[in-house]
Each structure stands twice: as structure tokens, then as C-alpha cells.
Amino acid sequence: MSKKINLLVVISGVAVGIAALVLTALGNPANMGFCIACFLRDIAGATKMHSAAVVQYVRPEIIGLVLGSFIMSVATREFRAKAGSSPATRFVIAMFVMIGALVFLGCPLRMVIRMGGGDLNAFVGLAGFAIGIIIGIFFLKKGFSLKRSYEVTKTEGGILPGVMVVLFGLFLAVPTIFAFSETGPGSKRAPVFVALIIALVIGALAQKSRLCMVGGMRDAIMFRDFNLLSGFAAIFVTILIGNVILGKFTGFSTYLQPIAHASQLWNLLGMTLVGWGSVLLGGCPLRQLILAGEGNGDSAVSVFGMIVGAAIAHNFKLAGAAASLSEDGVYSVGGIGTAGKVAVVIGFVVFAIISFMNIAKEEK
């Protein structure tokens, strides 16, 4: 049985890799294709929660992932409406996970996609991500828990899928109410229905395979269970091979990578925050979307927390600036400003407090 599951995780990983390559070829930003943090941030921009003009778009990928998971879980009778596992705490954790991701410029999924694209900065991010996961595991072993959830009404479980349907409906019916980027990453888009359909398929696969970027490393370290890590590896290998075949691979480098900066300390610390927070939440940003699709109200709260985190990141200028080459040839490594650095430090303090305060006392 475990072999079968393994295969499904690998298939899902390969599918995610191919989807990212196809979406990038069809217009999505380079080395992105499929980035949960970036695309939630674009949705926050489109709905005018922040006004960074270059990152505003209603990404059909997010809508498709949630609905794909919803449809698959209903079809296989796995949809279960539940909630009540420290939702406010999850909201705050998710906010800082998003801030960490935008400091690095990508969620764990985009980190893998960037790695496969030859971006060495993402390998620094990976090191940070691993450190964050190890810190998270330390607290899990100490007894950290956000406590159990409870069965709730189907309506509560269907909130995020419902929000996504309404958002997509409005996007098709009255697009003028939203803000859309005319330049920058937010202006780079794959065709709407292609993006939606691909995301529906990936959402369904991810639901069935439990694909999770943070779960892979966590389970490997904690339980010597390499099931989910195989999906992580499959994405990397698929992207790498795909980029080579498409002639887009130009070797591994930190120099001028697409929508990335080379400010390594903050690549590292941003992803440390993401790894730690994701372990506390029980899954990476992608996994939160999928869980919310299958009726988990706590994960829906996490998704809302990430959207608000994205708005905060851009309103307070916390997000990383990509490396750039000016017209007269001056290279800038990019990176983050003072506010972003302070936000990351605050994130660590908040996570430390949450981690210590939620350690369950030993039962006698």
C-alpha cells in the first residue's frame, strides 16, 4: 500500500513540475509558474488590499487549486468540515509565513521551482527552510500542539471554495472592479481557462497525494518517512529536465535570477521563518489551500492570514526587491529594506512565543 501512495506522490510532483513549466511557457512569470505566496499576493493586490501596481491579478491558479481539492474530496467522500484548532493563532502564523515568503520571494513550492531553474539563491533559501523545519520539529517533539479541531457545519467547511467561486464569478463578470498590473510579474499571465483547468487537476492530485513541501522534510527527519519528500524531489527533477529540454537552463548561478534577490542572509532567514511557521501550521502554503478545499476551516483561516500578510508585506514595504541591472549596466543584488528585516525578526519572536506557549503539559 505504501508503495502505491509513493507513486501517486511522485506522479503529483511530476505533474506540478510540468504544470509550472507549461504555465510559464504560456505567460506566467519566469521560475514561478505556480507560486502560492506570489499568487495570493497578486489576489491581495487585485482586490486592492495593497497597491503595489506590479503584483495585482486574480490568479485562476489559486481558485483552481482550492476547487480541484474540493471536487476531489467530495467525489471520494473525504470532504470533512472541521475547524476550531486555534484559528486566531493560525491566522497570525500564516501572516508571518507569508511575510517570510515575500522576503525570500517565493513560497516553498516556488523555491523548488527556482532551484530547478538554476537559481542558487533558492538553495540558500532551502537551507533556511530546513533550519526552520528543524526548529519546528524541536517544538513538536516538546509537545507543541494547536489542539484538536471539531466537526462543524458543511457551510463552514465550504467557506473557502465558496469564496473562490464568487471571486472567479466576479472576475469574469465585472473585471473592472479589480486592479490589474500592466507591468511586472502581475502582468504576466497564462490564459485564464488554461490556468484554471491545470490548477483544478493539480488541486485534485495534491488532495489525493497529500503533496506538501514542508511535510516532505518534516516526515523524513521526524519519522524517516520519505513518502512526501519524493514529491518534492520529483518537482525539482522535472523542472530541471524541463528547463534543459526547453533550452532555458543556463547553469546554476546567483546572478540576476528571475524575480529573485541575492541578499543571502535574508533569503536564508525569510525561508527559516516559512519553514518554522509551516511546521506549526501543519503544512506549506500549497497544503493549506488543499486542506481548506477539503473542508478544513482552520486552513481557510490560514489562507486569509496569508492574504492579509501579503497586503501587510507590500503596504509596509517588507517584501524583497528583485536583483536588477539598470540601463547603464549597474547591477543591484536587491534584497529587503529595514522594515522587512524588522518584520522577519518580529516574526521569529512571535513564533517563539507561540511555540513555547502551546507546548502541552505532560499528562499524568
Binding site for other proteins (CB under 8 A): 1-2, 5, 78, 80, 82, 85, 140-141, 145, 148-150, 210, 215, 218-219, 222-225, 227, 282-283, 291, 296, 298
Quote the least distance from Cβ 208 to other proteins, whole Å.
Answer: 10
Output the CA–CA distances (angstroms, integers) from residue 276 to 93, 140, 142, in the order listed.
9, 11, 14
Distance (Å, whole) CA 77 – CA 83? 18
Among residues 121 and 149, whose Cβ is nearest to other proteins? 149
Quote the least distance from Cβ 14 to other proteins, whole Å.
Answer: 20
Which residues, in sequence order, are bridge partners of residue 151?
A: 82
Quote the least distance from Cβ 213 to other proteins, whole Å.
Answer: 14
Among residues 99 and 300, whose Cβ is nearest to other proteins? 300
Assign residue 5 a region: left if phi > 0, alpha if psi is -120 to 50, beta otherwise? alpha
Quote the least distance from Cβ 279 to other proteins, whole Å.
Answer: 9
Among residues 61 and 298, whose Cβ is nearest to other proteins? 298
Among residues 148 and 364, whose Cβ is nearest to other proteins? 148
- Output the nine-digit C-alpha cell for 227: 513518502
Distance (Å, whole) CA 228 – CA 213? 8
Distance (Å, whole) CA 348 – CA 273? 7
Among residues 55 and 133, whose Cβ is nearest to other proteins? 133
H helices present in 76-152, as ranges = 87-104, 108-116, 120-142
Quote the least distance from Cβ 30 to other proteins, whole Å.
Answer: 33
Quote the least distance from Cβ 283 to other proteins, whole Å.
Answer: 8
Output the CA–CA distances (angstroms, integers) from residue 212 to 93, 99, 254, 285, in the order listed.
17, 19, 26, 9
Distance (Å, whole) CA 65 – CA 36? 10
Distance (Å, whole) CA 270 – CA 99? 8
Strand bridging mode 150-151 / 324-325: unpaired
Sign of the torsion formed by the C-alpha atoms of 25, 171, 101 and 222: negative
Quote the least distance from Cβ 155 to other proteins, whole Å.
Answer: 18
Among residues 190 and 213, whose Cβ is nearest to other proteins? 213
Among residues 328 and 362, whose Cβ is nearest to other proteins? 362
